[in-house]
Amino acid sequence: MAYIELIGMLAVLQFFFFSFLTGMSRGKSGLKAPAVSGDESFERIYRVQVNTLEMLAAFLPALFIAGKHWPPIAVSILGLIYLVGRFIYWRAYVANPDTRRLGFMLSMLPTLALIVMAICGAVREIW
Amino acid sequence: MAYIELIGMLAVLQFFFFSFLTGMSRGKSGLKAPAVSGDESFERIYRVQVNTLEMLAAFLPALFIAGKHWPPIAVSILGLIYLVGRFIYWRAYVANPDTRRLGFMLSMLPTLALIVMAICGAVREIW
Amino acid sequence: MAYIELIGMLAVLQFFFFSFLTGMSRGKSGLKAPAVSGDESFERIYRVQVNTLEMLAAFLPALFIAGKHWPPIAVSILGLIYLVGRFIYWRAYVANPDTRRLGFMLSMLPTLALIVMAICGAVREIW
């Protein structure tokens, strides 16, 4: 379980890193809180942060439940793909939002795989 | 715990389904990322997704902690009401945002009940 | 673990409280769903809610994983600082968004400490 906890915490740290970049971008853009629109480059990194939050809400519970039912190595590899996928998503979205699909898929598909593994693990335990 | 894990994962899948609908709606509306406003029907499904994310952040931890302290059948029934409530919320919000109250209550009240059960369970263990 | 569960649930309740205030503020502002901008005082409390959601996504998993590896008293104190920090953040943001820094730091730093503790705990277990 320690490997899986480590990956979960790295995913949280990655989200904090995107949040930090969003805060920096707000400072640079001169956009005053509570506004969240009006500056294209702020909006891009902000959307990366929001999308990562949405992913995290699915990724973390799926990671830990899948980790209870499947070998840690398989679950950890899916978690690592998610982490790399999110970095690719961030770089692509900031450069050009139209190129965000690859990074999105590389974090969405491992999350979906973890959800399916968690559901199969739970169903197997019930039957 | 397996029933509770199953319900938790179904709630995550439901959220992914709303996220998928939001992505579809963005495509149909012609709204280009990072914009999230400017098309009423996109904004409705996007608000369903965001509101579900907010609920999920409370529902999932409350579900698992309540599940440690109370009979799985009681916790599972509250979880099922939540799932049905979210579907009603989605259909109502997309049809007419003014009618979203019933579905909202049907997901908010079971979540609140799970939070109270989790708190009572933890307090009982401390004393 | 019961103390840590209690603090986790109080953090979720606090988030629900901010969500409730956001709903109240929408009613008072006359802003109709799905709109989330156009009224300064609504936007401020809404930003408090969203920022708390972002914090919660990091705070809750870090709290529970740190709680598995470190004495409950240390983890609980960090959790209490987070809770107080969020209340200060709310009061300051609603009064004047420019004064939100102290409350933000008082919830962000304990969360960061919990993440570091969780990572150290997991790494110590692996080695």
| pLDDT level of residue C54 (50, 70, 90 thresholds) | very high
pLDDT at B6 over 80: yes
Phi/psi-derived region of residue C118, left when phi > 0, alpha when psi is between -120 and 50, beta in every other case: alpha
Residue of C nearest to B98 (CA): C33
Give the percent of chain A with pLDDT over 90: 87
What's the mean pLDDT in B98-121?
A: 96
CA distance C47 to chain B (A): 13
What is the phi/psi pair of residue A42, to 5°? Answer: -65, -45
Q: Say if the Cβ atoms of A6 and C123 lie within 8 Å.
A: yes
Q: How far is CA A54 from CA A121, B71, C71, in A?
A: 24, 30, 31
Average of per-residue pLDDT values in chain A: 94
All residues of chain C having their beta carbon less than 8 Å from the beta carbon of residue B8 are none
**Which residues, 6 or more positions from A30, have their beta carbon under 8 angstroms from its beta carbon?**
A39
The confidence score (pLDDT) of residue C85 equals 98
Question: Is the Cβ–Cβ distance between C75 and C6 less than 8 Å?
Answer: no
All residues of chain C having their beta carbon less than 8 Å from the beta carbon of residue A45 are none
pLDDT tens, residue by residue, A79-127: 999 999 999 999 999 999 899 999 999 999 999 999 999 999 999 999 8
pLDDT at C30 over 90: no
Amino acid at C122: A
Give residue C83's Cα distance to chain centre. 7
pLDDT at A30 over 90: no
What's the mean pLDDT in A19-43?
A: 89
How many CB pairs below 8 Å do chains B and C form together? 63
Q: Say if the Cβ atoms of C122 and A9 lie within 8 Å.
A: yes
Give the percent of chain C with pLDDT over 90: 87
The alpha-carbon radius of gyration of chain B (Å, integer) is 16
pTM equals 0.95
| pLDDT level of residue A31 (50, 70, 90 thresholds) | confident
* Calpha distance C68→C77 (Å, rounded): 15
- Identify the residue whose tokens are 């972002």: C54
The confidence score (pLDDT) of residue B1 equals 86
**Mean pLDDT lowest among B30-34, C7-11, C122-126:** B30-34
Phi/psi-derived region of residue C39, left when phi > 0, alpha when psi is between -120 and 50, beta in every other case: beta
The confidence score (pLDDT) of residue A21 equals 96
- Identify the residue whose tokens are 């999308």: A51
Mutant choice from A119, A124, A127 vs B, greatest count of B C-beta within 10 A:
A119
Q: Say if the Cβ atoms of A121 and B49 lie within 8 Å.
A: no
pLDDT at A53 over 90: yes
The confidence score (pLDDT) of residue B30 equals 86
pLDDT tens, residue by residue, B20-40: 999 999 989 988 878 888 888
ipTM of this complex prediction, to 2 decimal places = 0.92
The confidence score (pLDDT) of residue A127 equals 86
